[in-house]
Structure 1
Amino acid sequence: MRSPLFSRRRSLRAGAAIAAATLCGSLLAACGGDQDDVPGADGKPVTLTFWGWAKGTQEVVADFNASHPDVRVTFEEIPSGNAGGYAKITNAVKAGNAPDVFNIEYPQLPDFVSQGAVQDISSLVDDSLKGKYLPQAAGLTALGGRTWALPLDVAPQTFFYRKDLFRKAGITVPRTWDEFRDAAKKLKTAQPKTRIATFFPDDPTTFQAMAWQNGARWFTAEDDAWKVNLKGPETGKAADYWQKMVDDDLVQVQPSFSQQWTASLQKGETAGYLGASWGAGVLKANLGSAPGMDGNWAVAPMPTWDGQPASGMLGGTTFAVSKDSKKARAAVEFATWATTTPEGMKARIDSGTSSSYPAATALLPVAKKAFDTKFYGGQDIYGLYAEAAESIKPGWTWGPVMGVTNGSLKDSFGKVAGKTGTIQDALTTAQQATLDEFKNRGLKVAP
């Protein structure tokens, strides 16, 4: 008998495959590419250029270089995707000077593939390698029956909170979104300057994960066309909820990972963070040296609408090879080492800044052992991540123009922060911008 998790994974994989089929016409130009580099064949190491921003990457590159004399990786840290990294990569691809390999999050991969910015690496990724990754992660890197990237992590939603501030306000960890709102009210009453969490006006991916968690499906592939629906009832419910949380001043409204946001956490003016598995490393890195933080933070399952476990995915990173690279074999060798070996995962987690939940399931014990949980009072956070990963809702597919979709949402969410627009307005605008971009790219849209 197949487990519920197997069924969820199969559904996720099938959805990605069906969606990818509608991209095939625009993907053909991106297929193949020279793959004739052989590390060390001429007596000299192959030198790769690599751009990324994921925490712990510098340490991963250093350990790889120390143990691989035939391949040398030159790493350049760039801003995160939403902070300008994707624009930098796109411009470099257009100019013909892109790095050999770069990080792309799952939501943006179909966009990069549809624009022919990355190579088809199917011939370099056999079934044995694919089998090392969680199916829901591998499925998000396989489009049109081809493999376009290697997955690093899975990013189920989780809720980080200050135990001491919750205790002081007399509130317990909320299991439902109704309880979350009640807790927010109590916290504001007990500590008028403190809010339970933050609405990020510059980061639509957090809201997307909320819609995903509620069963929304923004993009659905049908035959040779796409259905686009950013205005369904599941998304609307999440939008109305967060609009009221903002209107009633129950959450902070601050840019994601900004100095303002970090200072608010340090001062105890923000008591929680609605993030994902990688967020534990972010909080620890930003707050670990601040007084009164060690041992006072904890991790809980994401609140849900009915109290039953459910999660979307917030982010998650892949390694992709740029379209013009002549060093695909070496690039895949590096990406494979970084994503599937104990040494690669240990180097990342040992940095003290990363709490990645590995897409390669065999590495979970390595990550769990390497991450120092003192900041979280010794809590078994990876056990909680595993449960959250089990609860990822099936059926979500990322669309092929997420750069435009997210750009529109980001612009409009700024109006939510300024009280000149609503989340529903932002979704309406983003829906139209998305449909317009489909037309521009010649992608068919189902009625």
Structure 2
Amino acid sequence: MAFRRTARRRVLAAASVGLAIGLALTGCSSSSGSGSGGGSATQADIDAALHKKTTISFWSWAPQAGELAKAFEKQYPDITVKVSNVGGSDVEYTKLQNAVKAGSGVPDVAYMEYLAMPQFALQKSLTDLSKYGQSGLSSQFPASTWSQVALDGGVYGVPMDSGPLVLYYRADVFKKYGLKVPATWAEYTADAQKLHQADASKYITADAGDGNGTAAMIWQAGGKPFSSSGSKLSVDLADAGSTAYAGMWGGLLSKGLIDSKTAQWSNEWLTGMADGTYATWVAGAWGGSALETHVPKASGDWRVAPIPQYTAGRSDSSQSGGSGLVVPSGSKNKLAAAGFVRWMTTSAAANKIWVQAGQVPALNSTLTSAGWLGDKSAYFGGQQVNQVYAQASAHAPAGWQYLPFEPYANSVYSDTVGQAFAGRTSLKNGLAAWQKKIVSYAKAQGFSVD
């Protein structure tokens, strides 16, 4: 997998606020399905469009986009795909927002993270692909992944990749300090205490606070703090899952068992990941490629395990990251675009290219294929890591919803929840402050909030 998730984690500050401002709800209607591109088509219509001379534009930041486009053109020689590598998710979203406002330059297809889809759908900037036969694809993807694109009665994207939550751990550090690979968060806490008592320079992990990471952890705990339908929004960052996360992770923070001063992706963090300062890392399955790319000196030292559980015997996971393909409502070639999206996300040829590049698939047939599951990773000491990823993907509870302005919420995370990582408040109080900011913003944008 080409390393690209740092961009996702930087969808903050000016770029994110700029994307969220102007989220006026004028014309939004939950009954009509927000983001509708209008019109409808049969699969026969789409198939016919794929055999007409057409040029479609495709925006992406994935380095495999060009290779995938060429493979599609080989199968459908009447279609020319113009690929634009926009450089990163934050760049793409701002560029797309500007094109939508200008009413020109909108691509036919765009690669988009699940967390950004609700916002663009609510703004009526995405085509409802259920009108183009894409609803029937739901059984080909895990329910938790499909629920990220099936929004407010419509289908606003098709899954391309996923980020099931797992635990990366240093096998050498665990062996040296007699740590047990944790099956529960209670065992994880015990490992954290044992390690830091043995060597005060070492920590179970480093976490200076990250909105997307917090969301994934709450999801894994069974939380559903956000729920929206059209202009109606519910926010509860004190629900059972949020409370469980705050108690467990907040306890580690208050005891000084997490290095909360070192930000992920900083040079200091990368050094600590390489030299064994940090024994674990909670991340989406994309983290495997990130370690291979950015921490090559630790090859053979890292392993992957299922995420620890709040209740022994369970196997709940969640998703951290993941992206799909969308057809902006301003596309002039919706039929060909819908066919391109379907081929890119469900064909064996496209998925082969995708996983050969190290991407974690979203398609069930690939997630369960013997070839993919049996692949051994030299970086992870010969471990068949894909088996862990597949298990995590299968056990992520469905029903999670991102906010319809997730980038904005992440932009105010550091001023609220982030204060708990700075030692200025508790994690519980930080979540409460985050909720207050989210609710205030939502009301200002025209949402009714309960």
Which runs of no fewer than 5 residues in structure 2 stay unpaired?
Answer: 1-27
* Structure 2 residue aligned with 1:398: 402
- Aligned AA (1:412): T
Identity of aligned residues (%): 25
Which runs of no fewer than 5 residues in structure 1 stay unpaired?
Answer: 1-21
CA contact 1:39–1:71 (8 Å) conserved in 2: no
CA contact 1:61–1:75 (8 Å) conserved in 2: no
1:108-129 deviation per Cα after TM superposition (whole angstroms, max 9, x unaligned):
3222211222122223234553
* Structure 1 residue aligned with 2:137: 129
- Aligned AA (1:386): A
CA contact 1:236–1:424 (8 Å) conserved in 2: yes
Q: Is structure 2 residue 116 aligned with structure 1 residue 108?
A: yes
CA contact 1:33–1:323 (8 Å) conserved in 2: no
* Structure 2 residue aligned with 1:257: 265
* Structure 2 residue aligned with 1:309: 315
Residue 206 of structure 1: CA displacement?
1.2
CA contact 1:349–1:367 (8 Å) conserved in 2: no
Q: Is structure 2 residue 303 aligned with structure 1 residue 298?
A: yes
* Structure 2 residue aligned with 1:375: 379
2-side partners of 1:224 and 1:72: how far apart?
36
* Structure 2 residue aligned with 1:178: 186
CA contact 2:145–2:362 (8 Å) conserved in 1: no
Instruction: Between 222-231 and 337-346, report the one with greater CA deviation.
Output: 222-231
- Aligned AA (1:434): I
Question: 1:376 is paired with a residue of what secondary structure?
Answer: coil
Question: 1:230 is paired with a residue of what secondary structure?
Answer: coil
- Aligned AA (1:340): T
Residue 59 of structure 1: CA displacement?
4.3
Question: 1:131 is paired with a residue of what secondary structure?
Answer: helix
Residue 275 of structure 1: CA displacement?
0.9
Residue 387 of structure 1: CA displacement?
2.3
Find 1:439's aligned residue among 429, 438, 443: 443
1:177-256 aligned within 5 A: 177-201=185-209, 203-220=210-227, 225-253=232-260, 254-256=262-264
- Aligned AA (1:341): S
* Structure 2 residue aligned with 1:329: 335
CA contact 1:24–1:144 (8 Å) conserved in 2: yes
Residue 197 of structure 1: CA displacement?
1.7
CA contact 1:176–1:306 (8 Å) conserved in 2: yes
1:124-163 aligned within 5 A: 124-126=132-134, 128-163=136-171
Aligned residues: 414
1-side partners of 2:340 and 2:434: how far apart?
37
Residue 27 of structure 1: CA displacement?
4.8
- Aligned AA (1:133): F
Instruction: Between 27-36 and 271-280, report the one with greater CA deviation.
Output: 27-36
Instruction: Between 271-280 and 434-443, report the one with greater CA deviation.
Output: 434-443
Q: Is structure 2 residue 173 aligned with structure 1 residue 168?
A: no
Question: 1:117 is paired with a residue of what secondary structure?
Answer: coil
CA contact 1:122–1:146 (8 Å) conserved in 2: yes
Residue 164 of structure 1: CA displacement?
0.8
Question: 1:99 is paired with a residue of what secondary structure?
Answer: coil
- Aligned AA (2:440): D
Residue 77 of structure 1: CA displacement?
4.0
Q: How has the CA–CA distance of structure 1 residues 285 and 386 changed in structure 2, closer, same or farther, with 3 Å as cutoff?
A: same
CA contact 2:231–2:446 (8 Å) conserved in 1: no
Q: How has the CA–CA distance of structure 1 residues 362 and 240 changed in structure 2, closer, same or farther, with 3 Å as cutoff?
A: closer
Q: How has the CA–CA distance of structure 1 residues 196 and 80 changed in structure 2, closer, same or farther, with 3 Å as cutoff?
A: farther
CA contact 1:153–1:360 (8 Å) conserved in 2: no
CA contact 2:159–2:323 (8 Å) conserved in 1: yes
Question: 1:430 is paired with a residue of what secondary structure?
Answer: helix
Question: 2:182 is paired with a residue of what secondary structure?
Answer: coil
2-side partners of 1:425 and 1:92: how far apart?
39
Q: Is structure 2 residue 278 aligned with structure 1 residue 270?
A: yes
Q: Is structure 2 residue 76 aligned with structure 1 residue 71?
A: no
Question: 2:201 is paired with a residue of what secondary structure?
Answer: coil
Q: How has the CA–CA distance of structure 1 residues 185 and 56 changed in structure 2, closer, same or farther, with 3 Å as cutoff?
A: farther
1:53-72 aligned within 5 A: 53=62, 56-57=64-65, 59-65=67-73, 67-69=75-77, 70-72=79-81
Q: How has the CA–CA distance of structure 1 residues 413 and 260 changed in structure 2, closer, same or farther, with 3 Å as cutoff?
A: farther
* Structure 1 residue aligned with 2:22: none
Q: How has the CA–CA distance of structure 1 residues 129 and 304 changed in structure 2, closer, same or farther, with 3 Å as cutoff?
A: closer
Query: Aligned-residue CA RMSD in angstroms?
Result: 3.1
Residue 138 of structure 1: CA displacement?
2.4
CA contact 1:92–1:98 (8 Å) conserved in 2: yes
* Structure 2 residue aligned with 1:41: 52
- Aligned AA (1:232): D
* Structure 2 residue aligned with 1:119: 127
CA contact 2:285–2:389 (8 Å) conserved in 1: yes
CA contact 1:40–1:71 (8 Å) conserved in 2: no
Residue 369 of structure 1: CA displacement?
6.2
* Structure 2 residue aligned with 1:9: none
CA contact 1:357–1:382 (8 Å) conserved in 2: no
Instruction: Between 366-375 and 162-171, report the one with greater CA deviation.
Output: 366-375
Q: Is structure 2 residue 347 aligned with structure 1 residue 338?
A: no
Q: TM-score, normalised by structure 2?
A: 0.81
* Structure 1 residue aligned with 2:3: none
Q: How has the CA–CA distance of structure 1 residues 255 and 117 changed in structure 2, closer, same or farther, with 3 Å as cutoff?
A: farther
* Structure 2 residue aligned with 1:5: none
CA contact 1:408–1:426 (8 Å) conserved in 2: no
Residue 367 of structure 1: CA displacement?
6.8
1:317-374 deviation per Cα after TM superposition (whole angstroms, max 9, x unaligned):
11112221212233333322222122212212222xx341323434542771695511
2-side partners of 1:408 and 1:199: how far apart?
17
Q: How has the CA–CA distance of structure 1 residues 284 and 66 changed in structure 2, closer, same or farther, with 3 Å as cutoff?
A: farther
Residue 421 of structure 1: CA displacement?
4.2
* Structure 2 residue aligned with 1:430: 434
- Aligned AA (1:330): A
